[in-house]
Each structure stands twice: as structure tokens, then as C-alpha cells.
Amino acid sequence: MQRRKFIQYALAVPLATLLGTKVVAMVRHYPLFDLLQQLKRYPANKLISHGDWPVSQILQHLAQSVRYSRLGYPEHKSTLFHYTTGSIAFNAFAASGSMHHALNEPIPGAPSLVNKVPNDVALAELIQELEIFIAWQGDLAPHFAYGHLTKQQYYTAHYLHIQGHLIEISLS
């Protein structure tokens, strides 16, 4: 009898954890529009980077990510990855309110970031991509790691991704 209870708990606890994380992820709200307004107030010429990439490349990377959610990512993880690791990671990030990933890792298959783009141009590109995304009524492309996301889930992914990179940017 003890063995049966152990097996039941061994199966139930991870399942309950996954479902609980999914529920928390679904109820959290990430105000992408507010973040867009914050970005519009940034003085591009006074921004400095504390990371591996200069400010311009961080902003270009973020703009690529938002653009690809509409137009399609150049490369994808496997469908199995989307439904397992990718889904679990997305829900964990959404539930915790922060995204953890290598901040100097390019989007798989994306063109190289350009060194000489001024900060104001890169910031304008990110702002434009966010405005287009927010107004977008068409289908969304699958995320390269998370797979198919709803628009609200993309709001979450973009919000957390941008916030994760903004920790490397400050005012000079």
C-alpha cells in the first residue's frame, strides 16, 4: 500500500506543479503598452549598456524578436521541444514575472546585429515594431522556442524579454 501511495504522489506532485504554474502564468498581466510608453520616453543619446552588447544591438535584437512574432522566426526548435521544455519554460517565466536567458545570445538564424546603428534609430525601430505588433490583427507566427502563442501570450513573452534586456541599459 505504501508503494502505491508513493507512486501516486510521485505522479501527482509534478503534474500539480505544472498546472499551478500554468494557471499563475495565465492570470498575470504584463502591460506591453505601458512598456512601450516607457520606451518612448527614453533619451536614446544618454543610454549606456552594462552588458556584452552595446545599447543599439540590444534594441535591434528586441525589435527582431517582436517582428518575428508576426512574420516568422528564421529557425525553430523541434515540435517536441515546443510542447515540453519550451512550454514549461514559457509558463515558468510568465508565472515568475521574469525571463532568464543568455542576454548576448542572438535569435537562431537571425541576421547579425549591426554595430554602427545609432541608438535613436534602433530605439525607433523597436518602438515601431511594438506599435505594429500591438495593432496587429493577423495571424501570429510560432515562437522559435515556445511554439504557438496567443496574442496575450506574446504580450507576456515580449514584455518579459524586453524587461530582461533593459536591466543591462541605464542612463549615462
Per-residue pLDDT tens for 29-74?
789 999 999 999 999 999 999 999 999 999 999 999 999 999 999 9
pLDDT (0 to 100) of residue 19: 45
Rounded to 10 deg, the angle between the 32-40 and 119-135 helix axes is: 150
pLDDT (0 to 100) of residue 67: 98
pLDDT (0 to 100) of residue 30: 86
Mean pLDDT of 126-147: 98
pLDDT (0 to 100) of residue 158: 97
pLDDT (0 to 100) of residue 149: 97
Q: Over 50: is that where the pLDDT of 157 sits?
A: yes
Mean pLDDT of 133-150: 97
Q: How far apart are CA 115 and CA 124, in angstroms?
A: 16
Q: How far apart are CA 54 and CA 77, in angstroms?
A: 27
Q: How far apart are CA 27 and CA 20, in angstroms?
A: 11
Helix or strand holding residue 59 (H, E): helix 55-71
Q: Over 70: is that where the pLDDT of 23 sits?
A: no
Q: Over 60: is that where the pLDDT of 7 sits?
A: no
Question: How buried is 165 (Cβ within 10 angstroms: 0-12 exposed, 13-18 middle, 19+ buried)?
Answer: buried
pLDDT (0 to 100) of residue 3: 60
pLDDT (0 to 100) of residue 12: 41
**Which residues touch 66 (CB under 8 Å, ≥6 apart)?**
126, 129, 130, 132, 133, 158
pLDDT (0 to 100) of residue 22: 45
pLDDT tens-digit profile of 78-118? 999 999 999 999 999 999 999 988 999 999 999 999 999 99
